[in-house]
Amino acid sequence: MRAPRSRTAVRGPYAKLVVSMCSAVLTAMLSSCSADLPVQRESQQADGHVLTGRYSIVCVIHGDGDYVYHDNDGSEYAADEKALAAVQQVAQRNPRADVFVFHQRPRSHVLFLFPLRDGDFYYYRDGKLVTELSYWRDQEQSRFDAEVELYRRFREDNLGEMMNVFLYCGHEIPEAGGVGYDASYPDRSFTVHDLAGRLEDFTRDSTRFDLVVLSTCFGGTPHTIGTLGPFARYIIASPDNLHLSYFDLHSLERLDVSVPGGDVLALAKQFAQHAFDRLTGDVQTAVSVAVYDVERTRDFVRSVRGMYDHALTTVSGETQASITTMEHCDCADIPAYVLPAINEGVDVFYRPARFGRLKHKQSHSGWECWRERAPRGAGSQITGGAGK
């Protein structure tokens, strides 16, 4: 979004004219705050263009939080801005795709009084930027209402058979609670269930996304995969921590060449492998990237739902002011979760951390769970929060 231009003070006979102009500008700004005018158009949609692409990518980048990180050289980056640049490159290098990009930015004001639109929308078709808009994010609940409206407005009705991809870049999406996820709106919440509701809105014609990519920490849990599963065929997520550099997106470029025949699983594995290789070269912490075949994971998710929900209830009952008693862990480290179906439908790319107490852990199930944190100096508890 273009930054407001700074102006020097005007004196003399032009003062009244300047005051009148400022008054008109402020009036326009105030009227733009109305719910009846949710979108500011910066460029026009091309008229009479028939869609020729066979791929559709919807990307939501959450930037309303602390997304600053440093690379190995100490250089500072804003993770959401880096993600935006990467997605725009994907869009420009897909000559047969529709790409919808939503950048959710922190709230800001002019003259400390008048709010500016806090969302940017980019629509690419066949590698070309067709439309760029600034819009109001939902002021009450994080329900993506504005994003869904824009998607429906610019999506063609005659898409035909297309590969549909959804990509979310942001912090760990809470499975319960979720208050404070948006720094600009600390009283509202955002959870995995909210995201699932928005996926349902995006796919209102009863279709599912062929591939959902969660570029967040701790996305590979039974609860998250089970909640998003009805709206996706395959899901890529990191069951463990994910560095703010996020997943590398190069595998989404030139889908018309890299995914002949529309093989979604091949694309998912290729994406996961490439993201894994990039992360292992950049960070010393543990790296885990998993591909979930939603249909094949259903039995495991159903089998552990009760145990996981019990642990999640314990986690959601804690407060930040209290001493945390629960911690993330590999579900395979909890005997009750080690069922015959635990490996069904999951392809895992894993490398342990180069340091710390888990540096000798050589494998990961692809599923992340909760367990009671052991007292310092004692072994970890393995109850998973159940039965205590």
Q: Does the pLDDT of residue 6 top 70, yes or no?
A: no
Q: 234 is written with which tokens?
A: 């395959």
* Residue pLDDT, tens place only, 282-335: 889 999 999 999 999 999 999 999 999 999 998 887 655 444 688 999 999 999
The span from the first CA to the last CA of the chain, in angstroms, equals: 52
What does the mean pLDDT of the chain come to? 81
Higher pLDDT residue, 33 or 323? 323
Contact 214, 231 (CB under 8 A): no
* Residue pLDDT, tens place only, 249-286: 999 999 988 886 779 999 999 999 999 999 999 889 99
The pLDDT-based confidence of 178 (bands split at 50, 70, 90) is confident
Residue spans per domain, the chain:
50-372
Model pTM greater than 0.75? yes
**β-pair type (55-62, 163-169):** parallel
Q: Quick one: pLDDT at residue 320?
A: 53
In this prediction, residues 204-224 reach a mean pLDDT of 92
Q: Quick one: pLDDT at residue 186?
A: 85
